[in-house]
Structure 1
Amino acid sequence: MRMRTLLTSLATVVAVTGGLALTAPAASGSTAVGNTTHAVAAPLADPTVAPGGNFDLGVWQLQEPIGSPGSPTTISSSRLQGANGFQDSYFYTDTRDGAMTFWAPEKGVTTPNSNYARSELREMNRSGSAADWSLSGTHTMKATLRVVSVTSNVCVGQIHLGSGGTSTKPLLELYYRSSGDIVLGTENSPSGGQTLHTVGNVSVGKTWSYTIGVSGGNTINLTVNGSTTHYAIPSSFNAYKQYFKAGSYNQSSSDSTTKGARVAFYGLTVAHS
């Protein structure tokens, strides 16, 4: 009964603050980030429920590496929510530790503008409409995660361009490579071209954390395991609105359905102010 009470209390905190959270596996307490509370506690995740039973998935939509060519399957926020919410072999709760887990094989259905498969969350509004926020203000996404397996390279977090033009590029992508290197890719312009910045190294299977965000309309802020760096946003992006993405966006392809990238999340929050 005590475990269920603690989980209920955590769910209440997340609902009130408008964030998304799952407790990290090895700490206790809580921290306030802007107008969102990021709960961090001893293991409280229930490994017997769907991800929606441990996470507030009311601000996310899921894209999976299945469906018809050029049109991957998407799962709405309403289907993801709750202990009996959606899960399958590409998106599920790890029964050992309660982690929200994403699996993206080398071979899978892709979007028209990508050659790579993904099992990935796309930020939504509570109303069910697609998130599409201005660069002005402060916007952050925080995650605690581990890459369980990766063939070559996987994107675990993005800020992606929304409305405002014709570009389908991201503003930035955060990659994890099989070498353990964590690399930030910042887009040079909406037309393309990416500059890579190595920002850390963590062994495969080890837990780490990141915060990605923008502030002041012109600055990217990145923190990896407590180390923070900043990058200027080119003015060519000013016309575009943005949204967050997180999960396993595999960056290699082959004919294999058994090789790929598996990523487990223990914490994930978004905040806007």
Structure 2
Amino acid sequence: MYRISHLLILSLMFLSVEATSQTMGGDLTESETKTEKRSKKKKRKKTKLPDIDLSHWKVTIPEGSGKGGAISVEPPEILDYANNDILKPYMFNDSTKGALTFYAYPTSATTANTKYSRSELREQMVPGDDNVNWTFKKGGSLKAKLSVDEVSRDKTGKYHKVIILQIHGRLTNEQKELIGQKDNNAPPVLKIYWQNGKIRVKTKKLKFADVNSVGILHEEAWTDDEGFNFEQEVGFGKFQIEVKVTDGKMVVSLNNTEFAVYDDFNMKRWGVFENYFKAGNYFQSRDEGSFAKVSFYGLEVKH
């Protein structure tokens, strides 16, 4: 009787230990699974994509058949830029920062009327159509959050310049024919530079204030102003630029704390032209080995 009881107790003890062992093993496995899930969740959180609507932009890259032959990609193809092998080296997602990055360096593939390369967006009010644009009377605003991530230096040790935002002028087809010009190109009324860690604004002014309505259409009627330098140093960090255009007036702000205001007769007479916004990396160097990388975290246009 004792032997049977003893054996029964031993059996029950064995079963209890085995059950405890299995339970503990199950807890460890569950714990490991939770840790793994948390780790994966953290990894997922670190991956970000830029929230930028490209349905009204085309991009030009420093790739193509020489001067005037740089490749452009319009909507809807641009919407799949992440899978476009031609665009990938010049326009790509930085998923660690949640930014859309533009890379440029000197190549033989440039656009007409310039010697510099660009990886730059061009606004299209009607997707796929360059012929529909806006005037100062119609107005418009652009808000961009960006950073200049990397820029090469020249022989003196200064960083190369990069144009990050523009408002470009455009002749209508009627204006082009009136002055006998071969294309619709008009001067850019606004260029915003990143220059040695600071932001510089350049705009246009008339050479002669009383130029007539035909003469004003010629590029030679306009010249660069003296430029304006914002005091803040943005360096390689994030910053925000806002451009607001109304009839006869243009305001450029940096981080909503500094403002450059243009509301003289030059802006009033600029109303003769159509316009479009540009954003990205218009690299201002032909030096061998030079380059720049610009990232946009946000880009919004309204009319």
With the length of structure 1 as denominator, give the TM-score of the two structures. 0.74
Give the alignment partner of residue 153 of structure 1, picking from 161, 165, 182: 161
Percent identity, please. 27
Find out whether 1:244 has 2:277 as its counterpart.
Answer: yes
Find out whether 1:95 has 2:112 as its counterpart.
Answer: no
Residue 297 of structure 2 aligns with an amino acid whose one-letter code is Y
Instruction: Please show how residues 76-91 of structure 1 align to structure 2 within 5 Å.
Output: 76-82=74-80, 86=84, 87-91=87-91
Moved more, 235-244 or 158-167: 158-167
Contact kept, 8 Å, 1:180 with 1:201, in 2: the verdict is no
Query: Relative to 1, partners in 2 of residues 1:241 and 1:92: Cα closer, same or farther, differing over 3 Å?
Result: same
Give the alignment partner of residue 250 of structure 2, picking from 220, 223, 232: 220
Tell me by how many angstroms 1:202 deviates.
Answer: 2.7
Match in the other structure for 1:184: 201
Show CA shifts across 1:154-203 (max 9, x none). Answer: 000000002244553101100001x2120000012443421211124334
Show CA shifts across 1:243-268 (max 9, x none). Answer: 00000001111233xx2111000010
Match in the other structure for 2:119: 119
* Greater per-residue helix proportion: 2
Report which of the two structures shows the higher radius of gyration computed on alpha carbons. Answer: 2
Instruction: Please show how residues 190-269 of structure 1 align to structure 2 within 5 Å.
Output: 190-191=219-220, 192-195=222-225, 196-215=227-246, 217-226=247-256, 227-232=258-263, 234=266, 235-256=268-289, 259-269=290-300
Give the alignment partner of residue 74 of structure 1, picking from 69, 72, 86: 72
Contact kept, 8 Å, 2:146 with 2:297, in 1: the verdict is yes
Gaps of 5+ in 1: 1-42
Query: Relative to 1, partners in 2 of residues 1:132 and 1:141: Cα closer, same or farther, differing over 3 Å?
Result: same
* Greater per-residue strand proportion: 1
SS of residue paired to 1:81: helix
Instruction: Please show how residues 124-135 of structure 1 align to structure 2 within 5 Å.
Output: 124-130=124-130, 131-135=132-136
SS of residue paired to 1:88: coil
Residues paired across the two proteins, number: 222
Give the alignment partner of residue 170 of structure 2, picking from 162, 172, 182: 162
With the length of structure 2 as denominator, give the TM-score of the two structures. 0.67
Contact kept, 8 Å, 1:123 with 1:244, in 2: the verdict is yes
Match in the other structure for 1:56: 53
**Structure 2: distance between partners of 1:203 and 1:223:** 13
**Structure 2: distance between partners of 1:75 and 1:168:** 22
SS of residue paired to 2:61: strand
Gaps of 5+ in 2: 1-43, 153-159, 176-180, 207-218
Runs of 4+ in 1 over 6 A off after TM superposition: none
Contact kept, 8 Å, 1:202 with 1:208, in 2: the verdict is no
Tell me by how many angstroms 1:129 deviates.
Answer: 1.5
Instruction: Please show how residues 37-48 of structure 1 align to structure 2 within 5 Å.
Output: 47=48
Contact kept, 8 Å, 1:99 with 1:266, in 2: the verdict is yes
- Coordinate RMSD, CA, aligned: 2.3
Residue 150 of structure 2 aligns with an amino acid whose one-letter code is S
SS of residue paired to 2:76: helix
Show CA shifts across 1:219-272 (max 9, x none). Answer: 11111111222113614423211000000001111233xx21110000100000
Tell me by how many angstroms 1:148 deviates.
Answer: 0.6
Contact kept, 8 Å, 1:104 with 1:118, in 2: the verdict is yes
**Structure 1: distance between partners of 2:79 and 2:46:** 15
